[in-house]
Amino acid sequence: MPRSIWKGAISFGLVTIPIKLFSATEEKDVSFRQVHPEDGGRIKYKRVCEKCGNEIPYGEIAKGYELSDGRMVILDNEDMASLPLPTTKAVEVVQFVGEEDIDPTYFARTYFLEAETAGTKPYVLLRDALIKTERCALVKVALRSRESLALIRPKDGMLLMHTMLWPDELRDGSFAAPSADVSVSDAEVAMAQNFIEALAGDFNPDEYTDSYRQAVETLVQSKLEGAELPEEEAPQEAEVVDLVAALRASVEAAKKRREESGESTKKSKKAV
C-alpha cells in the first residue's frame, strides 16, 4: 500500500471527515541519465553558494523570497509551517457544482481520499450525497507549499480529489484559433462525421500502450545485442486538395482497421 502524502480533514458543513491523501497516478516515462559519451560516466551537479563558493548540503538549503528591489527574505521550515493558512490541514468545501461545469483544462493532479477510522461514516455520507445530487464538491486545499482549488467527486465507491490551476495560470489560447474567414462545406462536415462514427466506441484504456517507451526499450536491447533496428518509413506529407475524397478514404481505412481488429480479437479468444 502506498504512503499517504497528506493528512487533514474535509469540512462538510458542521461535519468533519478526517482523511488521508494518496497520489492516484504515477508517470512511467523513459528515464535517461546525463553521461559523458567518451567513458559513460554520469554527469553530477553540485549545490554551490554563489557568494561563499561552498557546496551546501540539501538539508541546509532554505527558501528565499526575492523582493522586487533585490532584497532576499529567508524562510525556514518553521516559518512555512506557521503560515496563517487554514487550508494547510483542512479541505474547505466552498461550493457544490456539476462535474460538467469544470473545464478539464483546470485539472492538475488526481488523489485518492481515504477516511480515517472515525471519519468512515461521514465519508460515506458525503460520497452518497454527491452521487444522489449528481454534484461534486469544489474545495480549497494547501498541498506541496501551495494552495489550490480542487474538485472532489465520487468514483468506484470512493472519493477522488482533482487539484486545479487558478484562472490566472491558464494561458490565453485565442491566438491558436483559425481565422473566421475559413469555412467548410456541408458535404465536408458530413464526411467528417462519418469518419468520427467509424472510429466511435467506448473508451477502454487497456487497449492503448506507450509506443515511445516500447521503442526506446527495443533500441536499448538492440544496442546491447549489437543488432540493427529495421528502418521505419517516414510518413509522407501530402497536400490535401479534396477534403471529401480524403475523408472518404479515411472512413474506408478506419472500417477496414476495425474489421481486422475484430477478427484478431475473435482469434485470440478462440485460442484461449
User: So what's the pLDDT on residue 112?
Assistant: 97
Tally of CB atoms within 10 A around 123: 22
Q: Are 133 and 96 in contact (CB under 8 A)?
A: yes
Cα 173 to Cα 47: distance, rounded to the nearest angstrom = 37
Exposure string (b/e) for 178-190, b if CB count within 10 Å is 16 or more? Answer: eeeeeeeeeeeee
Query: Does the global pTM surpass 0.95?
Result: no
Splitting the chain (272 residues) into consecutive groups of 10 residues, what average pLDDT does each group show? 86 87 86 88 90 90 90 83 66 92 94 93 95 96 84 96 94 90 89 85 84 81 76 59 74 77 59 53
The answer to whether the CB of 122 falls within 8 A of the CB of 24 is no
**pLDDT value at residue 42:** 92
**Residue 192 carries which side chain, given as an amino acid letter?**
A
**Residue type at 198?**
A
Domains contained in the chain, CATH given: 6-26+86-169 (2.40.290.10)
Q: Which pLDDT does position 79 carry in this prediction?
A: 77
Residue 141 contacts residue 150 (beta carbons within 8 Å): yes
Find the angle CA(206)-CA(25)-CA(213) to the nearest 5 degrees. 55
CA-based nearest residue to 194, from 247, 130, 126: 247
